[in-house]
Amino acid sequence: MWKILHQAGINPAPRRSGPTWRQFLTAQARTMLACDFFTVDTVLFKRVYVLVFVEIATRQVHVVGVTTHPNGAW
């Protein structure tokens, strides 16, 4: 990216005072969630679809849905 900007004659943004990325994420962690949608293949050769959310601050996992046939209503 730096090479492309340099060739276009665009200088990098100046350093800004303020929190670092780590400090920002730590301060915001209480309000942040991560989600994942994945499949699990069972020993009986069935596929199960799982939707989970993770609270970043506490790392608590919430399984909000498990189904064999996901659809719009699910």
Per-residue pLDDT tens digits for 4-28: 878 888 876 766 677 888 888 888 8
Is residue 11 included in any domain, yes or no?
A: no
Is residue 15 included in any domain, yes or no?
A: no
Is residue 21 included in any domain, yes or no?
A: no
Domain count, the chain: 1
Is residue 52 included in any domain, yes or no?
A: yes
Is residue 20 included in any domain, yes or no?
A: no
Is residue 1 included in any domain, yes or no?
A: no
Is residue 70 included in any domain, yes or no?
A: yes
- Reported pTM: 0.62
- At 16 the pLDDT is 66
Burial tier of 11 (Cβ tally within 10 Å: 0-12, 13-18, 19+): exposed
Strand-pair partners of 50: 38, 66
How far apart, in whole angstroms, are the C-alpha atoms of residue 73 and residue 65?
11
Q: Which domain holds residue 67?
A: 32-74
